[in-house]
Structure 1
């Protein structure tokens, strides 16, 4: 008795022999399916290996300790914490009560039998062979067995004495140092010997220095603060071991002393939510975790990617099975002649997909396993962390293999159905018969395109959901794919006026649409996605460039010293001019109020005063002069708020402001550096008049006033009460610069002569420079090193203009689409040559020169690539435009809300920016088809094999 098992067994044997007989075609299909399987299996192995278990995570955070104790810095007030210790809140505190502050001595909170190890962290700038490098500082006795696992030694040893340190391998490489070198921290004259190198398993690219407790952070902090520099911001925790571990009850008990705990035992066996007091407080549920909808969105995205990958493979592998079925039509005809029906013929072709799919699953999975194992060090360096272990999940790899088998079967479905519909006589005689393209599919595709465009337009203009635009665009793209056979036929009408080889290539593509259309559709899908992402990224880039606020003209440099008295300004000015290609230097001073040596932005510092520009009452914005900080939305109506948003008195000027009110003391050279081309402003400064770039500062008589404030506390009280701020007011004749003059944050330039005549005290602030060209990296490094030697806090800015990070992304997209296009076109061309071998032999027989085969192959590949690129480019623009319009509607809605709240004057109205990536399109439309054609022509032989005469 013959059953389905015997039929499929015979079909698989036939398919296996056919695959071995046609090794080139079989390898082509196997590679198409195995490559994605290789990538997916390698990604699965990498992700699973990089995913740490709880025990591995605790080893890297706690070493061999049982817990880590940290100060909540709330003055020892009782707290409730989450099991992982990341979230905590004071017990019984209402929303209106202030958060308690203060430090707690952790050592006094330790249980009696506990053993502890101090672990302190901070940061500092280390002197290396290249200059200065900012690095983290960790004071931990890493040689103690309790710390084993936190740091992995690489060479040498950990420090044993206070004058020794160890450093991460990344720090040593970046600093040009090695084990045995001397290390000096900026601010300290003391040298440390590097005795070893190590790495942090969770952060391989960290720059860190390890020292014994108290050996580096405390001396460095004292030296920096004594020199008026920021300290190291030391933070200390304690690693603790306890007999029996740290239980959840012990954690809650120590929480009463204002201490948070990360416990190994709690992490390995977390308590129920009902046993966590923090989760019972209002506002502290588990809402911070990923919701079911978010997880569903991630799964949907992953499913979409897998589905598109399978579709791409099926589109490319399907024609290969179709060509294989046609080349085996005599064999299939013999099956029918010997009693086999249509289901047996379908089984033979489907068995080919099953055999290739199974082989692809095995090859792809094994290669993925071997490749991941071989590239493990490179993968760890790329993700910046060591694997916990090489984790192999057999069920997941089996699922990936099943995906390959299913993909092979799906790719063989259409060829199997087509082959089963041929008559036995046609199969045995080799006749192809008359094949008409479906008239229903293009109509359905056209309807899908129309419906998809309508949905995308609805999502762009009326809906707020991105998914609507994405869904409509996907539907429209599937419609274009369905219309591809008909569109290929339309392309064929352009071949009447072409030379011989391109006309033959185009006619062959049109005549064999079952082979051409899937390849064109595959290219279409890849190019459409690339064009969509490129158009969206380019549009976002254009919007960011349009809204970019430059701090200076392109290539200009600003150097500001924040130290009191400007002691290092002269040295810094000369250093910048010495190392950079300076054209014009404009020295800038600032107004000083109070004792000598007051630093920049010293408001509220003892002995230091301030100043402000006195804005006339008529020029003050009503939104900013409300008493007691009243909300503008409570004072004015919506119409009034929108009108005030357009009022010139409420418009804020852009740019970076270094001084109070943007007032600087300088001469007309500053106008040249700021690219302010106004003869009136230059003449005013030469005549001793102030130049104002903010029209609100001038009164009706054409003067500006500056109030010197010596008692800042009294000034604050006057502002709160709405009375006149006490101080000495000095007026200056002023010139109002044109409204379109961009001063880059400078609101007023006061000439030195006017400041001196009025008795104002000025101190050097810095300088502005214009350059002949942008400084290179070496010039900047030398300048940074010399400026650092001054020991002052210096703000240096070189205006490079807007720089985009999308260039690499766009290049990667273009390369990806190009590879897919060339690959799909090359596959289709190879199948065309195998399918049209008889036609090529006929051409040779009638006297066609040998180069016809080469040129025909090149044009076949170029035609397919060109058709796919043109259709994909047109299909990819729609989703990008839809997404940009949807984003613009959201931005516009947010802007209107800002207007209604009274803050619209400080926000720029959004503009719907849509930019076409012409460079990417040019590469796709011209370079890719041309490159595909040339490549196919080069790899094709001019002469084919001689044909044998068939027996009569």
Structure 2
């Protein structure tokens, strides 16, 4: 008895033989299906291999220890923490109470009998072959068994003496040093020998030096303080090995002493969320992704996979159709010998099955090989080492099944078409009369209308991007369904064309079975490109309008806020020597305490200053209230808040906007600063010469015409005053002020005074940087040379060259256009090749009636150009809809945020209603509409032979 199994086995054998005979067409379809499978499989292997297991994460973070103990920096009060030890908060609220004053003693929290290994980290400016390099210094006995797994020794050995260190391979590469070299640090007279090279498996690109505990950081800190600067901060952790480990209950017990614990046992077996008090605390929670976000991500992935499969099916379908047509005699013989239509369908579908299976095998095998071969490159790119090479057979099988499914889907329509041909038509080679479906265009039109309505609803009535994207996808699928009918409409333009393009257009219309899928494939690729290009061009226009220059065009600024500006003179000299400087304006900053204190430092000997804001000039929305007074904005109605933000100059935060490294925008300099910033006001320069402070806003000037600058030296008293809602105690210096007329742009500078004025007011200053105007925009070569000079100093230099608005997406837009062009040319080329194979008899007829040889080449070019042109025109029209819908949705969201900010009185520097333009990228569209079809036509014409095979009369 013959069963379905036997018939399918025979069909698969026939399909395998046909695929082997038509190697070119089979290889083309196999490559189209296998390439996405290769990419997705390689991505899965990379992701799974880089996704560390809990045991691997624990080994890299704590070696063989049972826990890591850290000071929670909450003065020893009890805390709640999450299981990994990444987040914590005090158990008790101290909003209206002073903090307890007492350090945390981590050592007392470590159980007796435990083995402890200290892990201390800090930073230092280390000497290199090129100058100085800021790097992390880690004091950890790496040779201790507890630390095994934290560092991977690459060459040499671990440090054994206090004058030995080892360095990461990235540090050695950056510094120009090697194993055996010596290094030291700035302000430090001790030298160390590098005895080994290592890497951190989770941070391959880190610049780090490892020393024995107590061998570097303490001595280096004392040397820095001896030079009059502030010592860099350090952090200390304790790797603890305990026979019983640390359960979640033990971790919570240790938390009562103000210590955070990362426990091996808890990491390997975390408690339920209900057992974590931190998650039940108000305004805290488990910050895993929400079900809605997960669902949206799945929808996005499903959409991308679905569109990719659709694209492949549209490109591969015509190949199966032509294959079935060229095998019609063989299929007719099957029918003549008693084969049913189901057998014919099975043979054609088996072609898709065979190609799909082959593509799945090839794609998966190549993915494994390439991932293994490129593992070092992938690890360097991801900045971490893989764990175990993790192959998930079920996931790879699922990805491979997509290839099989894609092959079957691509062969469905050709299989149905081939089975409907009569035996006589198959044996004689006649195609018969074929009519286009009248139902499919109606379905496509309905899908366009429904999809457009959904997208319009999503953009006008909701703020959901998913609704807009979904409606746009439905509308695009509707355009794809209407493609055969639209191809027929294009055919009506042939009466006005010359012979070759008219023949090409007629051939495309008559053979819509292969033309429409190719046009639809081009349509899908171009529509996506146009949508993304329109959205990004609109975003670029929005960003250009919102861009705020930090300096006049071509100007340069440099700031250094560390080590009391020690490297500022060297930076000023380097900039003036390398760049085409016209005017140089040196600036200093006010410093309270030791010269090495930065504005945000609060360590011993460091103070700060603040510009006194007159009470009458303080915005009521942001006014300071005593503890327990609540949010001041809650004292006003939404209408009052809106009126204050939009009409009260005291609440206009944009007047204080701009970029400025120095706190409060207060700089110390001369009239050259005004010249570089382009401030055209003779009164400002005169005021500086008279010892006044120049102000670019009236908020800081009191009724006496002076600006008050308070020096706060007692930081402890300032903190206690802040807890009570009182101003910080300090000495106030009042300086006569000059208000610059409105309209002068200061680029973030709020106040400017000369060094003599600052000295007369009792203010200490240190070098901060300089402004430079340039004769021309510095070129790339000069900037690279300057970067190299500044890197030798080892300081954190804030260098800015004002180039104006720079579109960072321009390269991406070009890449998109090129991608769409390649897809278009590829799809059109496939359609042209199939048309040539399918219309060989027509070409021989043309040659027989006397057509010159170039007609074959010209016809091929126009066939390719016609398919590309139709797809580009339809894709451009279809791609604008989703971009417009997404921009309208974004506009609604931003307007809602703006209105809510006005109602709540938020301090967001709002300058007015949001500007969300819709810009059509005409350059990209022009390139797609003109260059791509023309390029496809020329390419097809060049690769086509002028003469075909000589036709022979078939034997009768």
- Report if TM-score (shorter chain) is over 0.5: yes
Contact 1:690 1:748 in 2 (8 A): yes
1:213 is matched with 213
Q: Distance in 2 between matches of 1:135 and 1:936?
A: 57
Change (3 A) 1:777 1:151: farther
Bigger shift: 246-255 or 393-402?
246-255
C-alpha displacement of 1:48: 2.0
Deviations 1:489-509 (A, max 9, x none): 222233333333333222222
Q: Distance in 2 between matches of 1:610 and 1:87?
A: 32
CA RMSD of aligned residues (A): 3.8
2:125 is matched with 125
Q: Which runs of 5+ in 2 are unaligned?
A: none
Bigger shift: 138-147 or 796-805?
796-805
1:951 paired to 2:955: yes
Q: Distance in 1 between matches of 2:334 and 2:450?
A: 45
C-alpha displacement of 1:544: 2.3
Which one of 889, 897, 901 corresponds to residue 898 of structure 1? Answer: 901
Contact 1:709 1:715 in 2 (8 A): no
1:934 is matched with 938
Matches within 5 A, 1:85-484: 85-90=85-90, 103-227=103-227, 229=229, 231-243=231-243, 245-248=245-248, 250-272=250-272, 276=275, 278=277, 281-283=280-282, 287-484=286-483
Deviations 1:508-559 (A, max 9, x none): 2222111111111111112212222222223223322322222211221234
Contact 2:70 2:236 in 1 (8 A): yes
Contact 2:130 2:792 in 1 (8 A): no
Q: Distance in 1 between matches of 2:318 and 2:936?
A: 19
Q: Distance in 1 between matches of 2:324 and 2:15?
A: 10
1:857 paired to 2:860: yes
Q: Distance in 1 between matches of 2:934 and 2:128?
A: 51
C-alpha displacement of 1:940: 2.3
Q: Secondary structure of the equivalent of 1:496?
A: helix
C-alpha displacement of 1:57: 2.1
Q: Distance in 2 between matches of 1:790 and 1:330?
A: 80
2:838 is matched with 835
Q: Distance in 2 between matches of 1:868 and 1:331?
A: 34
C-alpha displacement of 1:562: 5.1
Q: Distance in 2 between matches of 1:167 and 1:157?
A: 11
Contact 1:603 1:712 in 2 (8 A): no
Contact 2:597 2:606 in 1 (8 A): no
Change (3 A) 1:722 1:301: closer
C-alpha displacement of 1:478: 0.9
Which one of 923, 928, 935 corresponds to residue 924 of structure 1? Answer: 928
C-alpha displacement of 1:411: 1.0
Change (3 A) 1:932 1:171: farther
Q: Secondary structure of the equivalent of 1:52?
A: coil
Q: Distance in 2 between matches of 1:248 and 1:715?
A: 39
Q: Distance in 2 between matches of 1:319 and 1:757?
A: 86
Q: Distance in 1 between matches of 2:171 and 2:815?
A: 31
Which one of 784, 809, 817 corresponds to residue 806 of structure 1? Answer: 809
C-alpha displacement of 1:707: 3.6
Q: Distance in 2 between matches of 1:711 and 1:142?
A: 44
Q: Distance in 1 between matches of 2:247 and 2:702?
A: 72
Q: Distance in 2 between matches of 1:868 and 1:581?
A: 51
Contact 2:624 2:725 in 1 (8 A): no
C-alpha displacement of 1:418: 1.0
Deviations 1:94-116 (A, max 9, x none): 88667767554444443344323
C-alpha displacement of 1:469: 0.8
Bigger shift: 529-538 or 99-108?
99-108
Bigger shift: 469-478 or 566-575?
566-575
Q: Secondary structure of the equivalent of 1:56?
A: helix
Contact 2:167 2:197 in 1 (8 A): yes
Q: Secondary structure of the equivalent of 2:118?
A: strand
Deviations 1:363-413 (A, max 9, x none): 222222222222222222222222212222222222222222121111111
Q: Distance in 1 between matches of 2:301 and 2:400?
A: 17
Q: Distance in 1 between matches of 2:955 and 2:821?
A: 46
Change (3 A) 1:862 1:220: farther
**TM-score, normalised to structure 2's length?**
0.89
Bigger shift: 596-605 or 659-668?
596-605
C-alpha displacement of 1:477: 0.8
1:55 paired to 2:55: yes
C-alpha displacement of 1:432: 1.0
1:29 is matched with 29
Contact 1:650 1:905 in 2 (8 A): no
Deviations 1:757-785 (A, max 9, x none): 99999887653210123445665576567
Q: Distance in 1 between matches of 2:549 and 2:166?
A: 42
C-alpha displacement of 1:902: 2.8
C-alpha displacement of 1:62: 2.5
C-alpha displacement of 1:951: 0.8
Matches within 5 A, 1:732-881: 734=738, 736-737=740-741, 739-747=742-750, 766-775=769-778, 779=782, 796-881=799-884
C-alpha displacement of 1:308: 1.4
Q: Secondary structure of the equivalent of 2:184?
A: strand
Deviations 1:3-25 (A, max 9, x none): 22222222222222222222221
Contact 2:228 2:595 in 1 (8 A): no
Contact 1:122 1:138 in 2 (8 A): yes
1:490 is matched with 489
Contact 1:552 1:674 in 2 (8 A): yes
Q: Distance in 1 between matches of 2:660 and 2:732?
A: 23
Q: Secondary structure of the equivalent of 2:851?
A: coil
Change (3 A) 1:899 1:351: same
Contact 1:201 1:386 in 2 (8 A): yes
Deviations 1:559-592 (A, max 9, x none): 4565899887666544432232211223446678
**TM-score, normalised to structure 1's length?**
0.89
Contact 1:614 1:705 in 2 (8 A): no
2:513 is matched with 514
Bigger shift: 475-484 or 748-757?
748-757
1:10 is matched with 10
1:545 paired to 2:544: yes
2:706 is matched with 705
Contact 1:895 1:904 in 2 (8 A): no
C-alpha displacement of 1:950: 0.7
Contact 1:29 1:356 in 2 (8 A): yes
Change (3 A) 1:91 1:683: closer
Q: Secondary structure of the equivalent of 1:743?
A: coil
Q: Which runs of 5+ in 1 are unaligned?
A: none
C-alpha displacement of 1:50: 1.8
Q: Secondary structure of the equivalent of 1:646?
A: helix
Change (3 A) 1:403 1:599: closer
C-alpha displacement of 1:866: 2.2
Contact 1:158 1:196 in 2 (8 A): yes
Deviations 1:280-337 (A, max 9, x none): 8544986323333333232222222221121111111111111111111111111222
Q: Distance in 2 between matches of 1:771 and 1:278?
A: 59
Q: Distance in 2 between matches of 1:759 and 1:81?
A: 47
Q: Distance in 1 between matches of 2:619 and 2:94?
A: 37
C-alpha displacement of 1:457: 1.6
Bigger shift: 327-336 or 440-449?
440-449
2:69 is matched with 69
Deviations 1:57-99 (A, max 9, x none): 2222222333333333344444454443334455566886677
Change (3 A) 1:933 1:681: farther
C-alpha displacement of 1:414: 0.8
Bigger shift: 432-441 or 229-238?
229-238
